[in-house]
Chain A
Amino acid sequence: MEKTTLFDKIWDAHVVKSVPAGPDVFFIDKHFIHEVTSPVAFLNLEKRGIGVKNPSRTVATPDHNVPTVDQDKTIKDKLSRMQVERLRENCAKYGIELHDLGSAHHGIVHVIGPELGITQPGMTIVCGDSHTSTHGAFGAIAFGIGTSEVEMVLATQCIMQSKAKKMRITIDGVAGPGVTSKDLILYVIAQISAAGATGYFVEYAGSAIRSLSMEARMTVCNMSIEMGARGGLIAPDETTFEYLKGKDYAPKGEDWDKAVAHWKTLKTDDGAVFDKEYHFDAADIEPMITYGTNPGMGIKVKGNIPTTEGMEGSNKTSYLKSLAYMGFEPGEAIKGKKVDFVFVGSCTNGRIEDIRSVAEYVKGHKKADNITAWIVPGSREVEKMAHEEGLVKILEEAGFELRQPGCSACLAMNDDKIPSGKYAVSTSNRNFEGRQGPGARTMLASPLTVAAVAIAGEICDPREVFQN
């Protein structure tokens, strides 16, 4: 029998038809929508005079542009309000499940999907958002799509898609203390570059991946897109089943047993061939931080910004442009750089384990005076747990400001903007120019590093901060 990968197994089971010399007609099990990339898709359905083919396969929540204060009041920003209202109207009109602002399960779409157990192994999942790759942590094929494709899924439950090439990234070994899954993925992206996995779908494997919790796996898969990959996935195992068991939308009783029996078959066969393979040793990985304007520009927090040696042409020009934006010089150390803001949140690191790790770290300490510290839970459920576990109290005593759930300062569509020229160390996923506000300078790091930076007021190694 032919040896196949996990990606092949799920992909091939969802191909309705392969168009000769063209893409596959690809069936979508679950479709998430939000307020920003769906309105034009609904508008076009109306123009064509067609409806939503299977509303029960789509789930909606407003997350990208929503304010993170006063969510019980009318949204002040007119355009944001219109987008959220349009989402409500469209969901009501077509009978789509909506987790609205203020409801028990409102939150970032990639946080609530797993939290509710909607995301399950073996599924195909899409959303008009590139961080849909997050759901790959469950052994699903999950990826971001454009609005035309959102329209296709609404209208037909399918998209036209060419099968990606296959890459496996194996991380074996044991990471040292203070090294989180965020450091693993920032390290991988720095190694293979922000475009290194373009054209590929990635499977993460190896003992260092296996030992991660589901939330930590989500952080890894979330950032697959930051190396250009269409998505990333991890074969489901006992950790996955344990996480899903009892969740609202997970199968129950006999259906559960049947589902688990199927999920256990979802793995890459020994001897299956990938188009590209990388191997890394977790023991080589240290706390990481980015210094430039794409997520591939990452170094150890105790490292130096690379020099331009060996660079030429547009490569060098682009590199210097990036450093100029950040206000950094080639060759200098990143440690000790002053920081103005820290942001804990987003679909990358806005889950309860992230908030726990920050709270545990800052407990009994105060943030530095020069730091404004925002903590934005990924969902209402995360917010609720943070209160119940006493984390909010710890964080507030440390000087962090807790806000309400949403994408927030990750992309600064709402008022949560880092001012021009200011430095933010963020647990989010992108350090592009202006990503956190026009002129904002973003450095990406783990929740642990962000916690340490908040206390120290400057870039520091989370393993050293409390040693003095």
Chain B
Amino acid sequence: MAYDKFTVLTSTAVPLPTDNVDTDQIIPARFLKATEREGFGDNLFRDWRYDVEGNPKKDFVLNDPTYSGKILVSGRNFGSGSSREHAVWALYDYGFRCVVSSFFADIFKNNCLNIGVLPVTVSPEFSDKLMETITANPAATITVDIPAQKITLDSTGESESFDINEYKKDNMQNGFDDIDYLLSMSDEIDAFAADK
């Protein structure tokens, strides 16, 4: 379904300096039993966030009131493993609109763009810089600017440009999704399918 428009986002950020965060950690399989899209945020990072009795684990960043914001800055190879879009639904439902990493898994990245969460790939150096800064200074904000394709650490003004193709860029800014586009192509698809 069409989603919120996304142009420029300025927010504090949550640091998660772990590599290879797979989608089983983002949302464990046992919480995939819903038949609707809402409510997954409660179980975001469930087994890192709560112990077996359901008590919050103090050392996990989402349980640390010092950190909050709409941007998650994570380690390398974020979103690997299962194709479950529920992982992005959980991030979105919790309140994240942007994930920053030096490396994303493919399917996860597509899933993000399909529901309007922006995956921003930065250099390993800039990723380290962001991680250090927001960890040390929880009030530090990051600005993600889609029209300019630029991510800026506001406290120092340091920035980097990021890739997003024109088609997806347009979709994100206007809140369009792929189905809107595909439905508009129905005749061309029918003509193509006639030989298949």
Contacts and interface: CB of A to CB of B under 8 A. Distances in A.
Contacts of B10: none
A14 B82 CA distance: 25
Contact of A40 (B22, B24, B36, B106): B36
B81 A130 contact: yes
Contacts of B86: 147
A48 B182 CA distance: 13
B9 to A, nearest CB: 21
Contacts of A19: 167, 181
Contacts of B105: 195, 198, 228
B166 A152 contact: no
Given A314-B19, A433-B47, A149 B114 contact: yes
Contact of B25 (A130, A317, A432): A432
B52 interface: yes
Contact of A413 (B33, B47, B83): B33
Given A22-B166, A152-B179, A44 B17 contact: no
A294 B20 contact: yes
Nearest to A78: B33
B168 interface: yes
B156 interface: no
A29 B196 contact: yes
B155 interface: no
A32 B22 CA distance: 23
B174 to A, nearest CB: 14
Interface in A20-61: 20-23, 25, 27, 29, 36-37, 39-40, 43-44, 47-48, 50, 54
Interface string B1-37: 1000000000000000111101011001110111111
Nearest to B128: A313
Interface in B59-98: 75-77, 80-86, 88
Residue from A25, A230, A313, A314 having most chain B Cβ neighbours under 10 A: A314
A17 B33 contact: no
Q: How large is the interface on B (under 10, 10 to 19, 20 to 34, 35 or more residues)?
A: 35 or more
B33 A21 contact: no
A130 B82 contact: yes
A82 interface: yes
B183 interface: yes
Contacts of B76: 195, 314
Nearest to A155: B179
Given A155-B179, A199-B106, A438-B47, A21 B20 contact: no
Interface of B: 1, 17-20, 22, 24-25, 28-30, 32-37, 47, 52, 75-77, 80-86, 88, 103-107, 110-111, 114-115, 128, 165-168, 177-179, 181-183, 185-186, 188-189, 192-193, 196
